[in-house]
Structure 1
Amino acid sequence: MDQPTTNVFSYLWLYCTVFLTGAAVMVIELLGTRLIAPFYGTSLYVWASLISVTLIALAMGYFIGGHWADRAKKTGLSLIIALAGLLTLIIPWLTNPVLLATDSLGLRLGAFTSTLILFTPSLIMLGMVGPFAVKLVTSDLRGVGASTGSIYAVSTVGSVVGTLFLGFYLFPRIGSREIFIGVGLGLFLLAFAVTFYERKRTGVFSSTLPVAFLFLLGLGLLSAITIDRQSNNDESSYQTRFERESMYGWVRVIDNPALNLRLLTADASTIGAATLSHGENVLTYQKIVELIPSLSPNISRALLIGQGAGHMATRLQRHGIVTDTIEIDPAIAEAAKDYFDFVPSGKTIIGDARYEIRQLQGSYDLVILDIFTGGSEPVHLLTKETLMQIRALLSKQGLVALNFVSFLEEGSNIALASVGKTLLQVFPYQLVFISEPDSDFNDFIFLASNLPIEIEGGMLGVNQSNWLKNRLLNLDQHPGVVLTDNLNPLEHLQIRKSEHYRKMMTHSIGVEFFIR
């Protein structure tokens, strides 16, 4: 019986090609969140949109690629890869108009539509590589199963390597736009390399000319994009003083001299605000937290989870309280130090709080949980299990202060009720304060402890005591659900909040500040 004539080594170039295009697929998918995160955040809906769009595009690519491979005579694999390179190069250029066009669709539909428009074209072309490669490597029907399996196995290994290379090495060092451009140019180089192997089947002229034309077109578009970005003078009253793309978000310090205001933002969330003239904190909810040492005069050691601009740690230091801070984003810690004059009084820990609090030892008299911003929320930090870990760090008379952004909805907000109900699962005593009593959309501060919490009888002055009493909220927690690691619907319950906050930020500062 005749054996299949396919020689694996003779098709080594083809396996290298599917390996590299498989890596490109995952790089584009993962980087997609970084392009749209400043506008739509990094919520579960954004990730779900991007994963769905990737699968849709690959399915279309497999289907179209299979039909193209059966019918193609003059066109080859190099053309497909070159088209993928061109479509990848223009993604950063298309981001601004696409995000603006989808702004009115809301968080979920807007995120899905923008990812569909931006990433589907290039991912379809990359999806076409697999079927085309199977066609080229299969010389005998008896070997079609092995050929197909090996092609898709190598492509998947490439995706794994691309994911690890991007996450562990590339992204911490290079911006997302630059990586997109690098991937696009890299695909063009791969396309030129493939023309060398295709020249016998399609001819040198037929294989090289289309790739060269697309490459020159891509370079022209890239030059036009660069000139357009350089000539785009921002006339907004807000000016960017610091900008850093990190593993966790797009961190900036933005000034408005007319308002005497400096903001620290991460993507589309404000995580710190101070006066330009004196550097004083202007966020009301933080002023409530700053009164805690007067409620409990015996506090000597505190832990701040979510350092932000560092204002609360600075205020606590004025009361002689040593405060350790946990901040996941090193870019935020850098901005706090350089632009908000934050000087830590205790340890500064850079890392995810859920992991870091397990490594801490000793007791704290106060733990402040300030990570629930107006944008995407790290819901894994507000579960019964997390709060039990925090309780283990507290001294006998210790307090937990938790800031939460939400609507009041006349006391019927399920997300707000769920926070209170979850806290009561761990701490028997609780007080809830509202930052701005006359507003429905608000910061809510929860104080929880193993002992009763009294507003009067401490070191508060009469005016301070009355100020706090006016913000005391009687919250009905019965509609809420207990948030756990197993079931935490908080992100779903906060959709309206996320959409409202994003619109509020883009309207007050300007849409252009949230588009890369």
Structure 2
Amino acid sequence: MAAVTTAVLPTSWPSWRLYIVVFVASACSLVLEIAAGRLLAPEIGVSLYTWTSIIGVVLAGLSVGNYLGGRLADRFPAPSTLGLALLAGSLTSFGVLALLPILIDTLRYLPLVPRVLATNVGLFFLPSCLLGMVTPLAIKQALTDLRTAGGIVGRLYAISTAGSILGVYLTGFVLVAMLGARTVVLLVGIVLLMLALLFGRLRQSIALTVILLVPTLVVVGHTLRSRLWQSPCLTETHYYCIQVNEQNVGLLGPVMELQLDHLIHSYTAIGDPDLLRYAYTQIFAETARYVAQSHPDLRALFIGGGGYTVPLHLEAKYPEAAIDVIEIDPGVTAVSHEWMGLSPDTRIVTYNEDARIAVQRLQEGRYDLIFGDAFNDASVPYHLTTREFGQQLRSLLTDDGIYLANVIDRVYSGHFLRSYLRTMQSLFPHVYLLAREDAVETMADWPHGTYVATHPGDRDTFVVAASQQPIDFTQFRSHRTGSPAIATHVTGAGDQLRWEAGGPRALLTDDYAPVETLLASLFTGDEEQWDWRSMIPPRLRPLLFGT
């Protein structure tokens, strides 16, 4: 049998350097992935579509990088190849911050889901691809004896995975809330640049190093000079990018606007708690006035605090009321104290935890009103939509208590509202669908009215009201004393039944709550969402399709 000889490469990296490079580069790849969600939240929101796109793009980049890294390792086995990959990874990581405003503006014409996917590809595919090259290149440098190949490959992949795990937890639990997503991305670029300069043996490839290093320094300079690394958020928490702005909103005058990620969540007029802009908040307030007629010392619970707009209204209008708020993000509560008029001496009691946990400790039969204000169009916490959670809330209500929840959906193509109604109807004998007047008229027109032709793809906000006892809506009055107009309009029983029968109605449970699928029409329901012509930039459409 012929003897097997093993060549030892004199230029191979020391093992400890390879371990550091692989560990840190893998950590950086996952840091970018986790930071991506927070980075995009103020621009395109956080939804199942956002995270699906981020995970898919990063995995695709890593997969392609693994393949290309292996090919490069065989063709260019010099140790400097690994250093150049790190340097290119640094350049593209810095480029994320530089490209973000450009891509957001350039791709604004696209429908939401293709825009989310295209933005993620443009920002994160190339950095993920380059970081995916690191482990195969490192394996090439470490392999000096085929008899130990299995151990070396397994060790490097274990180190790589450990780095990825650290990157996930460090970013999600510490870095984003401490530094902000943009600063985190900037640090990734700096760390990769230092790895390349310290360990990359770049002196062996001076020309390529200069070609990559010069644009890297240019991008860094542009990022720092333009302050692209600074977050647009007032504060970034584990849950939201929180922004507060003072706005003049039509006849409402100056109000404080609370924005969570990309959605305006609340308008609060400091000093005028009766000023409620959104129709659903007015319906909440009118229901509270109805209940206060018989229970002036009403007890109310809010699932979701936000800007505390309605809790502040109840606190001012009903001095004997007891008001509890469950708000998962303590950062939102802190901002409301500082900016939205929530006094340090408020009577409002806040529980900063998930609602499913908080309600387990609350007294049964305590509340006359429970307000569900945790749903929005982009992100609906599915565990707060289920029959099991509804049972928990029902147990907290008095015999004549009322549960109200705001729901955003499309009348003609949405399925979540139907399913949520069915779920509440399985728990309460009296369930009503409330909305502003034109939305109720839309429901009455369904399915053959003119609304669908004149307002294709429109969405509406409804309030689902559920109770053990009938609600007398003839006794409803405006939340503003002296105002004759009321916001609460009730969908006719026949109209509601006819609409409910017009589509699928899932019973939402802890085991089965496909909320994202039921809400998909908010993003993909209109025909043009995936029409290839909508993917063409507007400036080019006349050239391709004429006028």
In structure 2, what is the Cα distance between the partners aligned to 1:306 and 1:315?
15
Cα deviation, 1:310-368, whole Å, max 9, x if unaligned, reads 12112222222111111122332233222221234232122222232234345222211
In structure 2, what is the Cα distance between the partners aligned to 1:114 and 1:469?
40
> Is the aligned partner of 1:52 residue 2:56?
yes
* Residue of structure 1 in register with 2:173 after alignment: 168
In structure 2, what is the Cα distance between the partners aligned to 1:6 and 1:46?
47
Alignment of 1:326-365 (within 5 A): 326-343=326-343, 344-362=346-364, 363-365=366-368
- The amino acid of 2:383's aligned partner reads H
- The amino acid of 1:294's aligned partner reads R
In structure 1, what is the Cα distance between the partners aligned to 2:73 and 2:277?
62
Cα deviation, 1:361-402, whole Å, max 9, x if unaligned, reads 452222111011233222221111221222232233322111
Shift of 1:18: 0.7
Task: Say which SS state the counterpart of residue 107 (structure 2) adopts.
Answer: helix
Cα deviation, 1:133-188, whole Å, max 9, x if unaligned, reads 11111112232222221111110011111111112221111011111011100011
- The amino acid of 1:66's aligned partner reads G
Task: Say which SS state the counterpart of residue 171 (structure 2) adopts.
Answer: helix
Assess, with a 3 A threshold, how the Cα gap between structure 1 residues 276 and 293 changes in structure 2: closer, same or farther. Answer: closer
Shift of 1:25: 1.0
In structure 2, what is the Cα distance between the partners aligned to 1:465 and 1:490?
38
Assess, with a 3 A threshold, how the Cα gap between structure 1 residues 71 and 65 changes in structure 2: closer, same or farther. Answer: same
Give the one of 292, 312, 315 matched to 1:314: 312
* Residue of structure 2 in register with 1:112 after alignment: 117
Alignment of 1:23-422 (within 5 A): 23-74=27-78, 75-195=80-200, 198=201, 205-207=203-205, 210-211=208-209, 214-229=212-227, 243-257=234-248, 259=250, 260-262=253-255, 263-275=257-269, 278=272, 280-296=275-291, 297-298=294-295, 300-317=298-315, 318-319=317-318, 320-343=320-343, 344-362=346-364, 363-409=366-412, 413-422=414-423
Assess, with a 3 A threshold, how the Cα gap between structure 1 residues 310 and 162 changes in structure 2: closer, same or farther. Answer: same
Assess, with a 3 A threshold, how the Cα gap between structure 1 residues 499 and 304 changes in structure 2: closer, same or farther. Answer: farther
Assess, with a 3 A threshold, how the Cα gap between structure 1 residues 327 and 128 changes in structure 2: closer, same or farther. Answer: same
Shift of 1:243: 2.1
Assess, with a 3 A threshold, how the Cα gap between structure 1 residues 208 and 179 changes in structure 2: closer, same or farther. Answer: farther
Contact 2:324 2:348 survives alignment (8 Å): yes
Task: Say which SS state the counterpart of residue 443 (structure 1) adopts.
Answer: strand
In structure 2, what is the Cα distance between the partners aligned to 1:255 and 1:460?
26
Contact 1:427 1:449 survives alignment (8 Å): yes
Shift of 1:498: 4.9
Shift of 1:229: 4.7
Cα deviation, 1:492-516, whole Å, max 9, x if unaligned, reads 2323435799xxxxxxxxxxxxxxx
Shift of 1:57: 0.5
> Is the aligned partner of 1:454 residue 2:472?
yes
- The amino acid of 1:257's aligned partner reads N
> Is the aligned partner of 1:467 residue 2:492?
no
Assess, with a 3 A threshold, how the Cα gap between structure 1 residues 339 and 129 changes in structure 2: closer, same or farther. Answer: same
Assess, with a 3 A threshold, how the Cα gap between structure 1 residues 358 and 209 changes in structure 2: closer, same or farther. Answer: farther
Greater shift, 465-474 or 267-276, is seen at 465-474
Shift of 1:4: 8.2
In structure 2, what is the Cα distance between the partners aligned to 1:338 and 1:55?
41
* Residue of structure 1 in register with 2:533 after alignment: none
Greater shift, 17-26 or 396-405, is seen at 396-405
Contact 1:384 1:485 survives alignment (8 Å): yes
In structure 2, what is the Cα distance between the partners aligned to 1:50 and 1:21?
18
Task: Say which SS state the counterpart of residue 91 (structure 2) adopts.
Answer: helix
Greater shift, 477-486 or 283-292, is seen at 477-486
Aligned-residue identity in percent: 27
In structure 1, what is the Cα distance between the partners aligned to 2:208 and 2:363?
64
* Residue of structure 2 in register with 1:237 after alignment: none
Contact 2:401 2:468 survives alignment (8 Å): yes
- The amino acid of 2:470's aligned partner reads P
In structure 2, what is the Cα distance between the partners aligned to 1:436 and 1:157?
57
Greater shift, 152-161 or 449-458, is seen at 449-458
Contact 2:477 2:486 survives alignment (8 Å): no
Task: Say which SS state the counterpart of residue 408 (structure 1) adopts.
Answer: coil
In structure 1, what is the Cα distance between the partners aligned to 2:215 and 2:115?
30
Contact 1:455 1:465 survives alignment (8 Å): no
Greater shift, 125-134 or 95-104, is seen at 95-104
TM-score under structure 2 length normalisation:
0.80
Assess, with a 3 A threshold, how the Cα gap between structure 1 residues 459 and 404 changes in structure 2: closer, same or farther. Answer: closer
Task: Say which SS state the counterpart of residue 437 (structure 1) adopts.
Answer: helix
> Is the aligned partner of 1:15 residue 2:19?
yes
RMSD, aligned CA? 3.1
Cα deviation, 1:289-315, whole Å, max 9, x if unaligned, reads 112233333362211111111121122
Shift of 1:189: 0.7
Task: Say which SS state the counterpart of residue 52 (structure 1) adopts.
Answer: helix
In structure 2, what is the Cα distance between the partners aligned to 1:468 and 1:256?
23
How many aligned residue pairs are there?
483
Contact 1:265 1:272 survives alignment (8 Å): yes
Assess, with a 3 A threshold, how the Cα gap between structure 1 residues 179 and 215 changes in structure 2: closer, same or farther. Answer: farther
- The amino acid of 1:219's aligned partner reads L
Task: Say which SS state the counterpart of residue 508 (structure 2) adopts.
Answer: coil
* Residue of structure 2 in register with 1:235 after alignment: none
Contact 2:307 2:336 survives alignment (8 Å): yes
Assess, with a 3 A threshold, how the Cα gap between structure 1 residues 97 and 207 changes in structure 2: closer, same or farther. Answer: same
Assess, with a 3 A threshold, how the Cα gap between structure 1 residues 290 and 136 changes in structure 2: closer, same or farther. Answer: same
- The amino acid of 2:325's aligned partner reads T
Assess, with a 3 A threshold, how the Cα gap between structure 1 residues 436 and 149 changes in structure 2: closer, same or farther. Answer: farther
Assess, with a 3 A threshold, how the Cα gap between structure 1 residues 168 and 133 changes in structure 2: closer, same or farther. Answer: same
Greater shift, 107-116 or 385-394, is seen at 385-394
Shift of 1:277: 8.0
In structure 2, what is the Cα distance between the partners aligned to 1:159 and 1:54?
13
TM-score under structure 1 length normalisation:
0.85
Shift of 1:5: 9.4
Assess, with a 3 A threshold, how the Cα gap between structure 1 residues 208 and 472 changes in structure 2: closer, same or farther. Answer: same
- The amino acid of 1:451's aligned partner reads Q
In structure 1, what is the Cα distance between the partners aligned to 2:36 and 2:98?
13
Cα deviation, 1:53-112, whole Å, max 9, x if unaligned, reads 111111100110000000114542111111101110110110112122333332222111
Unmatched tracts of structure 2, length 5 or more: 443-457, 527-547
* Residue of structure 2 in register with 1:508 after alignment: none
Contact 2:279 2:487 survives alignment (8 Å): no
In structure 2, what is the Cα distance between the partners aligned to 1:21 and 1:361?
51
Shift of 1:21: 0.9
Cα deviation, 1:428-468, whole Å, max 9, x if unaligned, reads 21122113525753221111122222224688899989836
Greater shift, 124-133 or 165-174, is seen at 165-174
- The amino acid of 2:137's aligned partner reads F
